[in-house]
Amino acid sequence: MFNLTGKVALVTGGSRGIGSEICVALASAGAKVIVNYNSSPGAAEAVVERIKSSGGDASLKRFNVADTSETEGAIKDIISENIRIDILVANAGIAIDSLFLRLNTDDVNKMWDVNVMGSIVPAKAVMKQMMKQKHGRIIFMGSVVGDMGNAGQTAYSATKAALGGAAKSLAKEYGSRGITVNMINPGFIDTDMTGQMTPEARELVSSQIPVGYIGRPEDIAAGVLYLSSDEARYVTGQTLRINGGLYME
């Protein structure tokens, strides 16, 4: 089950947190993983070493998902070097929190460029190759706040909600070509960001989650592994909510 042997996967923002665990999970299932990073070469190299030390196959590719021409050029190189690309996990994202009346337009644009265009541009760059192969898996990374909203995260929530519409539209356009497009909306996950929370804040958050605790990156990676697999061939245009019950639909 979930055998990805012979598949090539690109994970944007793969050097840390959720992204790094996604890379490890895909490699453990047999995929060759290209770990994208922009500003953390040491962390990205550590992910590759972790994969290789377990017998997996991985390599690095630096590009800024907010730079369209750089992203398109990098993905063209990846396809040329690997002949194919089967899985795209558009995981790279940023959050700049602010109360609505204090929103800085530049910050809104940065989040749009990374979170939205930084997912759509890579998807467009891999699409022709996936159509040629008659097979592909595209997974956008959203957020629970894209579903339920959150005070101080109006712009961030909007970018993540936008990806849901994009995933559904792409799923309708390319389902007949053997390409599925889905989205994962994580809830509170134990990463560097939540690691900065005080014990009191963590306890408060945990009390609002029905299962009673903050999730781990491995929980999200497991969802990516499923959606990347042949077992999920009949799943497209869907949002997989991995949030411990914080938001239910």
Residues forming the active site: 156
Question: Which is nearest to 100 in space by CA: 64, 144, 147, 154?
Answer: 154
Assess contact for 119 and 75: CB atoms under 8 A.
no
User: What is the rounded end-to-end Cα distance, in angstroms, of the chain?
Assistant: 28
Q: Over the range 204-221, which residues count as b (16 or more CB within 10 Å of their CB) and which as e? A: ebeeebeeeebbebebbb
Q: Any idea what the Cα angle at residue 188 is, between residues 7 and 39, rounded to 5°? A: 55
Question: Which is nearest to 123 in space by CA: 58, 182, 176, 83?
Answer: 182
